[in-house]
Amino acid sequence: MPGLLEGKVALVSGAARGQGASHARRLATEGATVIVSDIRDHLGQSVAEDIRSGGHQATYLHLDVRSTEDWATAVETAEAEFGALNILINNAGICEMSAVAECSDDEWQRVIDTNQTGVFKGIRAAVPAMQRAGGGSIVNTASIFGLKGTHGYGAYVASKYAVVGITKSAALTYCYANIRVNAVAPGSVDTPMLAEEVKVFEQNPDFDWDAHVRKYPIPRLARPEEVSEAVLFLASDLSSYTTGAVIPVDGGTLA
Ligand SMILES: NC(=O)c1ccc[n+]([C@@H]2O[C@H](COP(=O)([O-])OP(=O)(O)OC[C@H]3O[C@@H](n4cnc5c(N)ncnc54)[C@H](O)[C@@H]3O)[C@@H](O)[C@H]2O)c1
């Protein structure tokens, strides 16, 4: 049986590890040619090699989502080497935990440049190529913290609310061009990013991380692969009547 993404070309940002690596693997198993991109070149290359060794199609490309030039090169590569760009997964992100009043200018700018401006630059670069391809699907990575606040994480929450905003604006704007734009809003996902956050939580002897997780309606962390299934749904024609949506993958937290 042909895969859901047979003949499609998909670009995944931040795909060297964590959720991005999982998304790249999942899209490839459905027949997409996947451009695995990141700034961690060595790790990213091994993700692409691993996908190829499983009999699927993938290549690695250095893409710093903050760089307009890197986005232009990525889109050019998709079109020149693989014939089109059909799917963009804007997944790359960083997490900084400072509260608003403790957030330095540098921290603010770092988070906004990657999480917010990076998504803007990705959509801006991809839309003309998707128009040339006759349409496409863009999946942005927001967070439950793009739909609710939390203590601390001032710049991060601001950046993820912005991702929700640009998702809806771009969805409405590019409907005419058969380009759908949606987002996933993960809760706590078991990735290197979360592991780094947990190390900080554990410095507080009064905070019990495991007890915190057990209070989630589904009382555990998400596996990256569980987010990838929502990404696949949004990337593929399974979601052909869905645009401007933000789908929580959060074990019921927002409910
Ligand atoms: N892990 C969670 O609990 C969680 C929850 C909600 C949302 N998210 C979001 O999911 C996405 C993926 O996070 P993850 O948990 O897999 O994190 P991760 O840190 O494990 O992976 C993120 C990847 O993004 C890459 N990256 C960082 N800056 C980049 C840049 N400027 N250009 C290109 N790539 C860059 C990193 O090198 C890394 O490979 C992020 O947008 C994150 O904010 C994560």
Could you read off the pLDDT of 12-54 as tens digits, one per residue?
999 999 999 999 999 999 999 999 999 999 999 999 999 999 9
Write down the pLDDT at residue 2.
Answer: 86
State whether the beta carbon of 18 lies less than 6 angstroms from ligand 1: yes
Q: Is the pTM of this model over 0.85?
A: yes
Known catalytic membership, residue 161: no
Residue closest via CA to ligand 1's atom 7 equals: 143
SS (H, E, C) the chain: CCCCCCCCEEEECCCCCHHHHHHHHHHHHCCCEEEEEECCHHHHHHHHHHHHHCCCEEEEEECCCCCHHHHHHHHHHHHHHHCCCCEEEECCCCCCCCCHHHCCHHHHHHHHHHHHHHHHHHHHHHHHHHHHHCCEEEEEECCHHHCCCCCCCHHHHHHHHHHHHHHHHHHHHHHHHCEEEEEEEECCECCHHHHHHHHHHCCCCCCCHHHHHHCCCCCCCECHHHHHHHHHHHHCHHHCCCCCCEEEECCCCCC
Ligand 1 centre and the CA of 119: distance in Å? 12
Q: What is the pLDDT of residues 98-115, one digit of tens each?
A: 999 999 999 999 999 999
Catalytic residue among 60, 156, 176, 241: 156
Q: What is the pLDDT of residues 89-102, one digit of tens each?
A: 999 999 999 999 99
Q: Yes or no: is domain 9-187+224-246 CATH 3.10.20.30?
A: no
Residue 78 has pLDDT above 90, yes or no: yes
Atom of ligand 1 nearest to the CA of 16: 39
Overall average pLDDT of the 218-240 stretch: 98
Ligand 1 centre and the CA of 2: distance in Å? 30
State whether the beta carbon of 182 lies less than 6 angstroms from ligand 1: no
Atom of ligand 1 nearest to the CA of 19: 16
State whether the beta carbon of 148 lies less than 6 angstroms from ligand 1: no
